[in-house]
Structure 1
Amino acid sequence: MPSPTAEHRPPSGAEPRLDGLAPAAMRQMQAAAHAIRDGAEAVAMQALDGVLAMTPGHPEALRLYAILHARAHRHAEAKAVLQHAIAQWPDYVLAHSDLGNVQQAAGELDAAFASWRQACALAPQAPMPWFNLGRNLQLHGDTAAAIEALQHAHALAPDFLPALLLLGDALVHAGRFDEADAHYRAALALHPACGDAWRGLANMKTRPLSGHDREQLATALRQPGFGAADRIAMGFALGKVCEDQGHYEQAFAALNQANAELRQLHPWNADAFHAHADALFAASARLPAAADPTLGREVIFIVGLPRSGSTLFEQILAAHPDVEGASELPDLERVLGDESTRRRQPLLQWIAAATADDWQRLGRRYLELTARWRRHKPRHTDKLPSNWLLGGVLGAMLPGARIVDARRDALEAGWSCYKQQFYRLPHFACTLTDIAAYIRDYERIMGAWQAAAPQRIRIQRYEALLVEPEREIRNLLTFCDLSFDPACLDYHHAKRSVRTASATQVRQPLQHNTARADRYGALLDPLRLGLGLPMSGR
């Protein structure tokens, strides 16, 4: 790639994306953009080399080059190219925004937010920098700041649906449900079949949808022409409103159709998952003893099935003055993924070769990535349910961490999963038989890990909490090596962002009427059969 120069400087504040390009260079730039869109890296690089040969140092060519580097995980190269562009054109908003994206990917989070904020400062009347900042603040758990940035974006572009929807999500996470409802309905006023708006309304579990909502959803779903994503989200919302109103057969039919469409996008392979879970369990049983058995004592992992009370248990722990509730973190997966990239092998191929020193290095890397959650309190939660698969790995990598297995009645948990739309595909929750198979694998493997290491893994039963809340909360705190604090009994008053589908539920006192499965009778017999439970008899 030719070295950048500073031959042409645009006026201060101007966006120089295509300034100064001859017609031939313009064609090359367009070809590069199309190739990037299509994933043709070699074609894009050749076209960009042509642009830079004709117009050395052109900022848009440099920015597109950086996108190619970033996609190939060449973060240092991407950062260097963007910094060259910014050195020549300090007011280049897109370059600052993309630099933030690259810095985030490289693990430089503070620098990334500085770049995103600089983009907003350079273009305070442009909605996209504010949206990008708000989206990233939301992803990293700073809900209050995310709301402020997204409100800027929405004020500047009131009809921009992504900002309206993400602002609704952020308001839910902050517990501002009336405002969230208003934003989702404003989105529906712009686009009545907006699946994300219906998803947002349906995910406020304790707020019933109306009869008018039911009619609107049913009417929309009978009309052709909507994309699969909108149809699926509306189907899950229709299932919720039908259940809320006691129409159980209609609720089941709507959820069955929505799950069938979701599964068509990317089918789950229960046999392959079973084999993977067993292989990982077997490999994890042979890991070396930890070099430092206390490493990770700052962390409380909460694992289990989705919809089993994990957010509730996190809310209880986060009410403690020594614990920050961090919600569902990607950092453990990132550390293991980066190691797989470094070794050029998937986890199952390198796990047996990793030494105690390797696991200690990976554990320290996880603690580095999550340090932001311990700036104000000494400990934090990591509540990603699927981390149960790594119960053995955590014993070698973060042996001092505590693992809370949130366990709910299998039939209720399985049915609750079936009613929830999950966005990470493929997902086990699209058929009742796959749900049952997943539950069997999960309970078998976590039961074995807990029996082998009761000092670091606790099965915390949701139903037991409902019967004797204070006893269970005291026992949970003791297991986590936390002193008792009465604030944990009043967890629903805790002021924190809750970034899961249970955001409304955990802001209420314990509810004792959450069971729903029996109302569906024989419709759930495939789930009962898979779990080895008696059939409904009706």
Structure 2
Amino acid sequence: MADLPADAVQRMHGAARAIRDGAFEAAEKLLADVLQAAPGHPEALRLGGILHNQRGEHGQAQALLLRALERRPDDAYLLMDLGSAQQGLGEREAAYASWRRACELAPDEPMPWYNLGRSLQLDGNTAPAVEALQRACALAPELLPARILLADALAHLGRFDEADAQYRAALRLHPACGDAWRGLANIKMRPLTEQDRQELALQFRRNSIAEPDRIAMGFALGKVNEDHGRHAEAFSAINEANFRMRRLSPWDAAGFSVYTDAVIEASRSLPAPLDPTLGREAILIVGLPRSGSTLFEQILAAHPQVEGASELNDLGEVIRDESLRREQAFPRWVADADASDWQRLGQDYLRRTARWRAQRPRFTDKMPENWLYAGVLRAMLPGAHVVETRRDAVETAWSCFKQQFYRLPHFSCDLRDIAAYLRDCERAMALWRQADPGHIRIQPYEALLAEPEATIRALLEFCGLPFDARCLDYHLAARSVRTPSASQVRQPLRRDTARAAHYGALLDPLRAALQA
């Protein structure tokens, strides 16, 4: 900004603060004033690109950033922000090219490496994400978000000693860092010590904690208290954390049940597919979170023909984009879609997920809430196999309640809401399983505990896969597991996972809601 007049520099700083605070209209006006005084100034255009990216207007962001690059083609920060716009437009390869070029131009700047690593991690490319994030942390040891993301990525790869060290390094920077405590607590096969519990409880009582940190620390405190047999204290901490989450954005259980009814009704009459085999590459694992879905994905991913892709947003994005195109929310447009529309949508999903079939011909998509689309899959992806994981209802509900989910509003913040959501899922899936029994299967978690080999053989047969003994030793499979169960599925099968009974009457409202 060296060549800008002083008043324009002030406006630029004001615009940056306004973007940070979400005051987009004020930022837009300030930037317009700067560009009037200095037409085509690259830094003003860059801030305009950031503003449009924040609004989700990625096409406009890209246009501004490309204009700026004409003046400063070797500006690493312009390229970094351009990558964000390209990613928003679905131009994945172009985005990575921009981010990597930014790292080449400014190899000693931490932010290009951080942005590259963050995007690789979100895309499931965990090993290269670790390399980029390690570079960012080396260049800026105090950059807390980079250290947390690095720790998460290491945990996803099963490198738990290194993850533990990074989370603890983050706590040395910020002792009340909720994400660091959350990460340590999620390494479930390595419970926190009594000293950790006391330190976490001390930090949790501080008055100056930001609300996101307090919520994350509440869930972590619940976990460590449970591990130490302090169940009343565990319930209290988890209940408070959920109360704070629910206060941010309450879940509408009655409205969701009405929505489920509409989805069920829309899926009753669908056109016969043009290609009954479309989607045979896909195995969708659906149901409630914490019902054993990560474990069953790990079993399937141990098969040499299957890539475990974890939780993908692609199916929901295909439905969302079609809703935007038709200017009607799903499922209102379902009745107007013909066989060619469904085939187009199925092909779009397969195109978006093609990267997961680069090494192996089949892949798993373990997004739990995809159960909402299981009814229309017989028209959209008729060759796909859908595995609905089930676990004891009380254990599933309690596990959901004590796990922090970041997408709000979320049904898991209230025990009665969890029970209502579970009933909606089960009744919808029962109807769709009856309509398409050859492609939808219930997979009980308890059956795996009782007869591991027989259950695994039956699951592979349902998916059209030959038996492979490596699936019995699923915990040895080397892959990135990007869920809170990352540590559990790298251990042999355990039968002592039930926890709800320890809470006695505290969970009676849940039991009553499930029986209603």
Matches within 5 A, 1:293-308: 293-308=276-291
Count, aligned residues: 516
User: d(CA) in 2 for partners of 1:257 and 1:532?
Assistant: 25
- AA matched with 1:276: Y
- AA matched with 1:488: C
User: d(CA) in 2 for partners of 1:422 and 1:301?
Assistant: 21
| Counterpart for residue 175 of structure 1 | 158
Summarize the Cα distance change of 1:45–1:209 in structure 2 as closer, same or farther, 3 Å threshold: closer
| Counterpart for residue 499 of structure 1 | 482
2:92 equivalent to 1:109? yes
Which of 420, 432, 436 aligns to 1:449? It is 432
| Counterpart for residue 142 of structure 1 | 125
User: d(CA) in 2 for partners of 1:30 and 1:163?
Assistant: 25
Q: What TM-score, normalized to structure 2?
A: 0.96
2:364 equivalent to 1:381? yes
| Counterpart for residue 6 of structure 2 | 23
Q: What TM-score, normalized to structure 1?
A: 0.92
State the 1:483 CA deviation: 1.0
State the 1:349 CA deviation: 2.6
Summarize the Cα distance change of 1:31–1:355 in structure 2 as closer, same or farther, 3 Å threshold: farther
Which of 217, 221, 233 aligns to 1:250? It is 233
User: d(CA) in 1 for partners of 2:210 and 2:25?
Assistant: 33
State the 1:325 CA deviation: 0.5
Summarize the Cα distance change of 1:26–1:181 in structure 2 as closer, same or farther, 3 Å threshold: same
Structure 2 regions of 5+ residues with no counterpart?
A: none
User: d(CA) in 2 for partners of 1:75 and 1:229?
Assistant: 28
Which of 221, 240, 244 aligns to 1:261? It is 244
Which of 419, 442, 448 aligns to 2:402? It is 419
- Partner of 1:347, secondary structure, is coil
Matches within 5 A, 1:367-406: 367-406=350-389
| Counterpart for residue 306 of structure 2 | 323
2:279 equivalent to 1:310? no
| Aligned residues of 2:266 and 2:332 also touching (Cα < 8 A) | no
| Aligned residues of 1:107 and 1:369 also touching (Cα < 8 A) | no
| Counterpart for residue 115 of structure 2 | 132
Summarize the Cα distance change of 1:307–1:339 in structure 2 as closer, same or farther, 3 Å threshold: same
More moved, 35-44 vs 413-422:
35-44
| Counterpart for residue 63 of structure 1 | 46
| Aligned residues of 2:310 and 2:366 also touching (Cα < 8 A) | yes
2:55 equivalent to 1:81? no
User: d(CA) in 2 for partners of 1:33 and 1:222?
Assistant: 34
Which of 54, 58, 78 aligns to 2:37? It is 54
Deviations 1:256-284, CA, capped at 9 Å, x for gaps: 12211221111111111111111111112
State the 1:29 CA deviation: 3.4
Deviations 1:77-131, CA, capped at 9 Å, x for gaps: 4323322322321221111011111111111111111111111111111111111
User: d(CA) in 2 for partners of 1:343 and 1:39?
Assistant: 30
User: d(CA) in 1 for partners of 2:72 and 2:454?
Assistant: 62
Summarize the Cα distance change of 1:160–1:47 in structure 2 as closer, same or farther, 3 Å threshold: closer
- Partner of 1:530, secondary structure, is helix
User: d(CA) in 1 for partners of 2:166 and 2:28?
Assistant: 42
Summarize the Cα distance change of 1:529–1:153 in structure 2 as closer, same or farther, 3 Å threshold: same
Deviations 1:161-204, CA, capped at 9 Å, x for gaps: 11111111000000000111111111111211110000001111
| Counterpart for residue 340 of structure 2 | 357
User: d(CA) in 2 for partners of 1:342 and 1:410?
Assistant: 38
| Counterpart for residue 450 of structure 2 | 467
State the 1:40 CA deviation: 5.7
2:472 equivalent to 1:514? no
State the 1:412 CA deviation: 0.9
User: d(CA) in 2 for partners of 1:506 and 1:435?
Assistant: 24
Deviations 1:120-155, CA, capped at 9 Å, x for gaps: 111111111111111000000111100000000111
Summarize the Cα distance change of 1:74–1:412 in structure 2 as closer, same or farther, 3 Å threshold: closer
User: d(CA) in 2 for partners of 1:277 and 1:155?
Assistant: 49
Summarize the Cα distance change of 1:44–1:418 in structure 2 as closer, same or farther, 3 Å threshold: closer
| Counterpart for residue 526 of structure 1 | 509
Summarize the Cα distance change of 1:63–1:440 in structure 2 as closer, same or farther, 3 Å threshold: same
- AA matched with 1:205: K
| Aligned residues of 1:168 and 1:179 also touching (Cα < 8 A) | yes
2:477 equivalent to 1:482? no
Which of 292, 315, 323 aligns to 1:332? It is 315
- AA matched with 1:265: L
| Counterpart for residue 536 of structure 1 | none
User: d(CA) in 2 for partners of 1:385 and 1:274?
Assistant: 17
Which of 158, 161, 179 aligns to 1:196? It is 179
User: d(CA) in 1 for partners of 2:329 and 2:298?
Assistant: 34
User: d(CA) in 2 for partners of 1:413 and 1:528?
Assistant: 12
Deviations 1:335-381, CA, capped at 9 Å, x for gaps: 11112222222113322222221111111111111111111111111
| Counterpart for residue 210 of structure 2 | 227
Q: What RMSD over aligned residues (CA atoms) do the two structures have, in Å?
A: 1.7
